Amino acid sequence: MSETRGLSYRDAGVDRDVAQDAKTRILDLVRRTATAGVVPNPGGFGGLFRVPSGMRSPLLVSSADGVGTKLKVAMMANRHDTVGVDLVNHCVNDILVEGARPLFFLDYIGMGRLEAGTVEQIVTGLASACRENECALLGGETAEMPDFYAPGEYDLAGFIVGVVEEENRPGKARVQEGDALIGIASSGFHTNGYSLLRRLLFDRLGLTVNDPFPGTTETAGDVLLRPHRAYARSLRPLLDDGVIHALAHITGGGIPGNLDRVVPDGLQARVERGSWTPPAEFLAVQEHGGISDNEMFQTLNMGVGM
């Protein structure tokens, strides 16, 4: 009768040594995002952050988001340093719409088999964007989940908290008849519409990430992995001066689906499609996909990110 060896966690697909290697690699990256509000808590079960002082009526503003199927492109290109930037900037933009300054950010990475190098690339992007936005990467979770994700695949999500003085918060209540509507350029597709883009480019046109993106001189991988643009630094002075009455982050739903969220009842926003030319990559997608104007504007940002 043969003896049966006892099972270990590694046998089940979870490797503690790889997890420790990943933590060691990212520790300094995380530390370098610390801001004045971070309260050191080595070994703690939660991140600590000191509530800002000197505000009359502070409102905390939170948001959670993911990167969607743009992650599939990162996996195809084996390039994971931009998706963390996408995630932070997307969340920062979401709370910027409420006028909030970011305080801290938390991330979640789930993988079927933990790959320390991939985690390091992702967190490098997260940390870089946090520093750029003066936001502390306060904590996160990296989960190895065998049999849950396909080999080489992962998911990425984030949660942000910011603060705004209540009386200074922009929004539809401040929008008035006669206000000017100004669009600010996106850096590309940002993080929306990637299921459509992948279906067209990789399935229908048969491209790889190394092939030229139609209508451009860049590769498909370079165009599709351009990081989501952050608008906080450029718009903060105008928000502080009260010049901006409302903001709309142009994400899922495009301009129609997001602009409508900040227009009060009784008013309408007038958008003249001929007032700007969408970037070449958007026009190429429409041409090669035979996509209607309405479908394009309701799915993609069309070159306007805020």
Q: pLDDT per residue over 5-45, tens digit each?
A: 788 878 777 878 888 888 888 889 999 999 999 999 988 89
Structural fold of domain 171-306: Phosphoribosyl-aminoimidazole Synthetase; Chain A, domain 2 (3.90.650)
User: Does residue 225 register a pLDDT over 60?
Assistant: yes
Please answer whether residues 284 and 215 qualify as being in contact, where contact means their C-beta atoms are separated by less than 8 angstroms.
yes
Lowest mean pLDDT among 34-38, 117-121, 272-276, 282-286: 272-276
Residue ranges per structural domain of the chain: 8-40+50-169, 171-306
Q: Give the pLDDT score at 2.
A: 58
In which band, very low, low, confident or very high, does the pLDDT at 261 lie, cut at 50, 70 and 90? very high
Please answer whether residues 106 and 140 qualify as being in contact, where contact means their C-beta atoms are separated by less than 8 angstroms.
yes
H-run or E-run covering 49: strand 48-49
Q: Give the pLDDT score at 1.
A: 52
- State the Cα–Cα distance between residues 126 and 89, nearest whole angstrom: 9
- State the Cα–Cα distance between residues 306 and 298, nearest whole angstrom: 15
Q: Give the pLDDT score at 3.
A: 65
- State the Cα–Cα distance between residues 279 and 167, nearest whole angstrom: 37
In which band, very low, low, confident or very high, does the pLDDT at 280 lie, cut at 50, 70 and 90? very high
What digits encode the pLDDT tens for the residues 82-113? Answer: 999 999 999 999 999 999 999 999 999 999 99
- State the Cα–Cα distance between residues 37 and 30, nearest whole angstrom: 14
Structural fold of domain 8-40+50-169: 60s Ribosomal Protein L30; Chain: A; (3.30.1330)
What digits encode the pLDDT tens for the residues 164-221? Answer: 999 999 999 999 999 999 999 999 999 999 999 999 999 999 999 999 999 999 999 9
User: Does residue 279 register a pLDDT over 80?
Assistant: yes
What share of the chain in percent tops pLDDT 70? 99
Q: Give the pLDDT score at 254.
A: 96
